[in-house]
Amino acid sequence: MIINSVLLLALVAFVLVYWRWDEVQGYVWKRKYQQQSLSEQDKATLLKYMSIYRNMTDKERHALECHIVWFLGEKRILGRDGLKINRAMEVIVAADACLLVLNKPWPLYPNVKEVLLYPSSYYVPQTSKDGAGLVNYHTSVRQGESWPGGTLVLSWHDVLEGNRLPGDGHNLVFHEFAHQLDQQTGYTNGTPELSKGQDYKVWGKVFQRAYSNLKSHVAYQMPHVIHSYGATNEAEFFAVLTETFIEKPHELRSYDPELYGLLHQYYQFNPSNWV
Ligand SMILES: [Zn+2]
């Protein structure tokens, strides 16, 4: 009788934990990470390399630091092609990644397991079939990738360049982690899971309009505030748009206030305060 009761209690506890897993994990992480913070040296690294961090309010900086500590505790950053990873490199990658989710609650990037860092652009072997069915072997050069399974690949040279030039609309880490946010839904289609209160219909309408607008500008080789690579497909549009939103907020807002407003609602921060 007692054994049955104990088993029943254990089963109820298991179901409760399974059902509220995100909350349980959040509680454990809070206990583990909230007492920790970045060292003065880590903060000096961010002040030196991340202009957005310099321009943040104290509250935003504190939120970002908490996320960075958590990110570095839960995700792996590994060097490839002989690249030795040091603390400053880890802090910079984590800071750029966590900026996108600055005001979102843990768990952040639930699918992400690891970030692989190459010294610079890297070669990827590829095969393609031509019209006659012949298979061609070739290599393509890449700066970064985001795999739905939770691995990101980044060129360290391009990570640094993205931080060195904060107003050019390019930041590799923002780009690849925006893909992760998109991929979290199980699809890679340029529509991430929206924030509370956001309407998918409105998002779809505004995004399609903006995407078509960019495509027609690219077709006629007209300049546009969003880089032409965004016209590749909807997923690239969302990733490039994220880079533009953070790095060229004033230009994007004056060009398309409705689109800017949606991104502001989704990301829950206003990058025009940081420029
Ligand atoms: Zn991309």
The region of weakest confidence among 45-49, 80-84, 194-198 is 194-198
Distance 214 CA to ligand 1 centre (A): 16
Contacts 24+ apart (CB under 8 A), 59-65: 60/102, 60/269, 63/102, 63/103, 64/95, 64/98, 64/99, 64/102, 65/37, 65/38
Q: What percent of the chain clears pLDDT 70, i.e. is strictly above it? A: 97
Question: What residues pack around ion ligand 1 (CB closer than 5 A)?
Answer: 236, 239
Distance 241 CA to ligand 1 centre (A): 11
- Which pLDDT score is estimated for 16? 67
- Read off the pLDDT of residues 96-139 as tens digits, 9 standing for 90 and up: 999 999 999 888 999 999 999 999 999 988 888 888 888 888 88
Distance 193 CA to ligand 1 centre (A): 18
- Which pLDDT score is estimated for 11? 76
Distance 161 CA to ligand 1 centre (A): 17
Distances (CA, A) of 174 to 63, 141, 219, 220, 236: 18, 19, 26, 28, 12
Distance 117 CA to ligand 1 centre (A): 16
In this model, does residue 273 exceed pLDDT 90? yes
pTM of the predicted protein model:
0.91
Domain boundaries, the chain: 185-275
CATH of domain 185-275: 3.40.390.10
pLDDT category at 75 given cuts 50, 70, 90 is very high
